[in-house]
Amino acid sequence: MSKPTIATLLCLMVSLVVPAHALTDQELIAKLESAGYTQIRDIKSTAEGISVKAMKDGKDVSLVVDSSGQVKERK
C-alpha cells in the first residue's frame, strides 16, 4: 500500500472544510427572503457559518447559516 502524497492530504483537508457548493450572497439573500426575512445586511463569514442581520415580523434578528444551508436565529 502506498503512502498518500502531500497533495492528496491537502485535497482531503480542503474537502472537509469547504462545502461542495457555498452559497453566493445573491443565493443567500434569495433563500432568506423566501423564508420571510427582509432588510438583509452585514453578511460575514465566521467560524460558525455565515453571519447575517435581517428583519422578520418587524424585529431585528441575527442569523447564522451553516455550511449545509440551515438557517438559525441567534438568541
Do 25 and 45 form a contact (C-beta atoms < 8 A)?
A: no
50 with 43: CB under 8 angstroms?
yes
Indicate the pTM of the whole model: 0.68
Q: How far apart, in whole angstroms, are the C-alpha atoms of residue 42 and residue 55?
A: 12
Convert the pLDDT of each residue in 15-74 to its tens digit.
445 444 578 899 999 999 999 999 999 999 999 899 999 999 999 999 999 988 899 998
Position of cell 432568506?
32
- What pLDDT, on the 0 to 100 scale, is given for residue 20? 46
The rounded distance, in Å, linking the Cα atoms of 65 and 53 is 11
Domain regions of the chain by residue span: 22-73
